[in-house]
Amino acid sequence: MGEPEHVWVVGTTAHVVRAVQQAVDSGRRVTVRSGGHGFEDFVADPAVEVVIDTSAMTAVSYDPGRRAFAVEAGALLGDVYRRLYLGWGVTIPAGWCPTVGIGGHVLGGGYGPLSRLMGLSVDHLYAVEVVVVDREGRARSVVATREPSDPHRDLWWAHTGGGGGSFGIVTRYWFRSPGAHGDDPSGLLPAPPAGVLSFSVTWDWQKLGKSSFARLVRNHGEWAERHSAPDSRYLGLYSELALTRRPSGTVLMIGQVAADSGVQRLLDDHLTAINQGVAVQPVRTVKNQAWLAAALAGSPGDPGPVYRLKVKSGYLRRGLTDRQIEVLHHHLTRSDYDHPGGSLSLYTYGGKVNTVAADATATPHRDTVMKMFYVNGWENPQDDARHLTWLRELYRDLYADTGGVPAPADGTFINYPDNDLADPAWNTGAPWHTLYFGDNYPRLQRIKAKWDPRNVFRHTLSVRAA
């Protein structure tokens, strides 16, 4: 549990520079938070003495000088969606949870229900403002853009998937889609569809035998393999298959179909393919919504407000193997563990995400069809060891062939950080930095050495200088 000596609630970039300078001058460990979400102890680390809180920096505006939309680091995704859409009829493809702060979300790549259709958040990132510390210990702010002529372009690139807490403190982002021309703001970012069809589908766990469970998981993987090409007619369909523990009562799939027409047919086709050969008929709930209403409502599967969490991640370039499905079924139905909170969710991915080269941004995973989100949640700190062990064993056994972690070619997602990947007790496979950053890591190391030579900004999974 962190107990910082000081929390700065900052309102401007100048405030951030001042706070960082005081921390450096006094030799105190400093970190930053924006929306307050965090799956590991990067902010709550007991070693952290100063926290810079950007949650008061929430402005969203159009910057005519840069022909881009400026978004301060403390803005929540819901506010970003609302202001961009109501002001100019545009959006960025980002997370489903409207209470996530954009400050950390974009740094890991940023994705959500529109990403198959529009790409990642960083695919539309034009510039970033960062407070950095030079070799002499002087804090200053730098604006770095994606322009090839920008001498600071490497700092922009590092913030397109290099994760937070490694290079400096972001105070502002600017967004403009590549190739967007003119001075009309409404043409500089994508326009979301007018409406979406939101859906929730459940299967009764008690009726779902082992063979039907395997068929369901296999069908979902095969669908993702078939329909994640950049020209798929299903790019507007996003789904999350939550493979929950049997005590929870149901296996759940939630999602959205974002299209101007034919949404019901797309969903019907999807569910027919997913349920082919499954002996249990699912229960379906659908709702037609205006896009903004759906974006502000968020995911119906978000956990409650008071919980302890551990998460893990992985990417898939093809569906789970039969052996992995067998392992998954075992851990979800184990009789020696009765907690209902654990799950593995399979998120559809790919599409326009995979049209960007692996080294064009710091996000290397550009050939995937699914993203995996492993999670366990509970309330009592005294139960930590039991619930952590269940999730760790599931992950280890699923990847038994590759050292207890995904294969390097598949990788993991830095915005679902997992300190276990840096622990040899749980990872005897690929190094953590290879899993998160792939072949982009050496370049990130060089940028780290240049822009944070004193290693002011660090945590367990931060980039290490070469």
Q: What is the chain's pLDDT, residue by residue, as a tens digit (466 residues)? A: 678 999 999 999 999 999 999 999 999 999 999 987 888 888 888 999 999 999 999 999 999 999 999 999 999 999 999 999 999 999 999 999 999 999 999 999 999 999 999 999 999 999 999 999 999 999 999 999 999 999 999 999 999 999 999 999 999 999 999 999 999 999 999 999 999 999 999 999 999 999 999 999 999 999 999 999 999 999 999 999 999 999 999 999 999 999 777 899 999 999 999 999 999 999 999 999 999 999 999 887 655 555 789 999 999 999 999 999 999 999 999 999 999 999 999 999 999 999 999 999 999 999 999 999 999 999 999 999 999 999 999 999 999 999 999 999 999 999 999 999 999 999 999 999 999 999 999 999 999 999 999 999 999 999 999 8
Neighbours of 18 (CB within 10 A): 15
75-90 burial: b if 16+ Cβ within 10 Å, else e: bbbbbbbbbbbeebeb
pLDDT value of residue 3: 86
**Amino acid identity of 421?**
L
Structural tokens at position 312 = 């893990």
Q: Beta strands of 95-190 (E only): which ranges? A: 125-133, 139-145, 169-175
> 44 in helix, strand or coil?
coil
Q: Which of 234, 347, 374, 395 is catalytic?
A: 347
Q: Which of 349, 395, 416, 436 is catalytic?
A: 416
Amino acid type, 151: P
Cα gap 140→105, rounded to integer Å: 23
| Catalytic annotation present for 81 | no
Contact 67, 25 (CB under 8 A): no
Alpha-helix residue ranges (DSSP H) falling in 119-209: 153-158
Give the whole-angstrom CA distance, residue 108 versus residue 164: 7
Coil, helix or strand for 450?
helix
> Between the CA of residue 89 and those of 38, 186, 236, 350, 425, what are the distances in Å?
31, 6, 18, 25, 50
Question: Is 337 annotated in the active site?
Answer: no
Supply the pLDDT for residue 301.
62
Sheet holding 50-53, edge to edge: 6-9, 50-53, 30-33
The span from the CA of 161 to the CA of 184, in Å, is: 28
Lateral strand order in the sheet of 169-175: 60-63, 68-72, 169-175, 125-133, 139-145
Dihedral sign for Cα 206, 210, 213, 215, please: negative
Name the 3-class secondary structure at 253.
Answer: strand
Residue 228 CA to residue 367 CA, distance in Å, equals 10
Helix, strand, or coil here: 147? coil
Pair 200, 214: CB distance under 8 Å: no
C-alpha R_g of the chain: 22
CA–CA separation, 286 vs 138, rounded Å?
55
The alpha carbon of 94 is separated from its chain's Cα centroid by a whole number of angstroms, namely 9
Q: What pLDDT is stored for residue 306 in this prediction?
A: 54
Which burial class, exposed, middle or buried, applies to 223 when counting CB atoms under 10 A from its CB (0-12, 13-18, 19+)? buried
Which H/E stretch holds residue 211?
helix 210-226
